[in-house]
Chain A
Amino acid sequence: MKNSKRTEKIAFFFLFLATLLIVIPVGLIIVIIIQKGIPAINWQFLSDMPRQGMRAGGIFPAIIGTIYLVLGSIFFALPIGLLAAIYLSEYSKDNFLTRIIKLAIVNLAGVPSVVYGLFGLALFVVFFKFGASILSGSLTLGIMILPIIITSSREALESVPNSFREVSLSLGASKWQTIRYIVLPNAIPGILTGTILGLGRAAGETAPILFTVAAFYLPRLPKSIFDQAMALPYHLYVISTQVPNVDEKIRYGTALVLLVLVLFMNLVAIIIRYQFRKKKKW
């Protein structure tokens, strides 16, 4: 009896320790970035063009570039991913082919991001002749986050109770009506969760935009989707490794802006999701 209590205490200690070990690095990263980045943050830093070879001035074009890329990738990936998820979870029969497709989607999520970059370079930049452009970058990032969106959307759709579908069908609604009016509205929170995950990933990745869109130094805003753009993660890489004598606070300031930007986008999505969840009544 006494022994089992002691075992429990030891187990509890290690479980707690493991949890703590996860929290510590996250906390440290945030603290360090804020501490070192805050001094750089001012209005000029956020709204100005980079100057003196990125050693001074602001990071405005990189912020705008990242926002364009994230919105662009969601624009491509969300509709396609959602439609594919609907097909896979609602329409497709469980046979060898669909099982292969599902497996492929799961595996696609594990492909290293630099491979997506190379793929985007070959397909969009070279083959479709979009050049290094926001369009190419968005498409590449879109493909990268597709598996995340498909997988989470499928889970969301499949979590809607089957009885709702049966009720709707039994009233003579067609399958599409059932999906449109019953299944989808109840799956939206889960779909948004996937979108949030995809969003954060698209904003933070460097490798996929390396060959497809990112400009090393472009102190102006992109004029069209066929224009190159700066982006925060790549800019951070550049000023940290490629340009000598960049003030540390500029580097950490850039990291902080990237972090806040992703957090802000997540926040918006979380609020939307919360609004939908509130309406959910089962």
Chain B
Amino acid sequence: MVVKFDIKNLNIWFGAIHALKGLSMEIYANEILSVIGPSNSGKTTFLRMLNRLNELELHFKIQGNITFDDKEILKIDIELLRKQIGMVFALPLPLPLSIFDNVAYGARMHGIKNKKKLAQIVEQALSKAYLWEEVKDRLSTSAFKLSGGQQQRLCIARTLAVNPEVILFDEPCSGLDPISTAKVEEAMLKLKKDYTIVLVTNNVKQAARVGDRTAFFLSGELIEIDKTDRIFTSPEDQRTDDYISGKFG
């Protein structure tokens, strides 16, 4: 398996809060890695480290090493890194633009101006996110007119339009109903072929449904990472078992 991210002894602080403690793990290409754990376990911090969004926070401090395709991520040009590593946020966050402009935003920022080319990128991205059929007749309407589930798929399309290698999902279904959730999960499973996916989720069942491997975080520490079947059937650590079976969390 190709190692996409290699994380070694990573520590992150926000001021006095030690958010990630001595994290070491690998993320493979073309896998869906689910990250589960109760709130404040450092899952989102971990995710936002991969595209360096954490650096926007005040009093952020990092120690340790993360490589992306064998390159130190802190040394990669930050815009290039984020172009290669897309992110879908917890809440559907359309930009205050039309549907078309939302999807075309990233491509435009990377200098694509040709209208035909943009239209093609938008159609492809929306198709991949299973939204094209629903919105193709109203691309110029505001993205805020879409339903929550559609908005979230729009956000996925917007991420895909930049043509990343990795997609980070930060609890992408936390605000969605079961049907919309199923659609987003379906999209994820299809996307695995072409992308590496890291999925942070509060929904343990979701991790079981879509994850190839699952990592369990607790209080900023990685407790266990293994094949999803193993984590859910015979975890090594008692705490993992307790969390999955709902004893706490």
**With the chains together, A182 CA to B95 CA distance in Å?**
8
**With the chains together, A168 CA to B106 CA distance in Å?**
8
Is A177 at the interface (CB under 8 A from chain B)? Answer: yes
From residue B69, how far is it (CB to closest CB) to chain A in Å? Answer: 16
- What chain B residues lie within 8 Å of A169 (beta carbons)? 53, 56, 82
Other-chain residue from B81, B89, B144 in contact with A163 (beta carbon distance below 8 A): B89
Inter-subunit contact B109/A181 (CB<8 Å):
yes
Inter-subunit contact A282/B96 (CB<8 Å):
yes
- What chain B residues lie within 8 Å of A185 (beta carbons)? 96
- What chain B residues lie within 8 Å of A168 (beta carbons)? 95, 105, 109
Inter-subunit contact B109/A172 (CB<8 Å):
yes
Inter-subunit contact B106/A172 (CB<8 Å):
yes
- What chain A residues lie within 8 Å of B211 (beta carbons)? none
Inter-subunit contact B82/A167 (CB<8 Å):
no
Q: Per-residue CB proximity of A154-198 to B under 8 Å, as 1/0?
A: 000000000111111111111001000110011000000000000
- What chain B residues lie within 8 Å of A165 (beta carbons)? 56
Asked if A167 meets B95 with Cβ closer than 8 Å, knowing A172-B79, A172-B80, the reply is yes
B132-175 interface (Cβ within 8 A of A)? 142-144, 155, 158-159, 162
Nearest B residue (CB) for A166: B53
Asked if A172 meets B89 with Cβ closer than 8 Å, knowing A166-B53, A181-B109, A281-B142, the reply is no
Other-chain residue from A164, A170, A182, A281 in contact with B51 (beta carbon distance below 8 A): A170
Is A99 at the interface (CB under 8 A from chain B)? Answer: no
**With the chains together, A186 CA to B53 CA distance in Å?**
22
Q: Which residues of A are in contact with B by a Cβ distance under 8 Å?
A: 94, 163-174, 177, 181-182, 185-186, 280-282
Complex A-B, nearest 8 residue pairs according to Cβ-Cβ distance, in ascending order: A172-B83, A171-B106, A173-B109, A170-B87, A172-B82, A281-B96, A281-B142, A281-B144
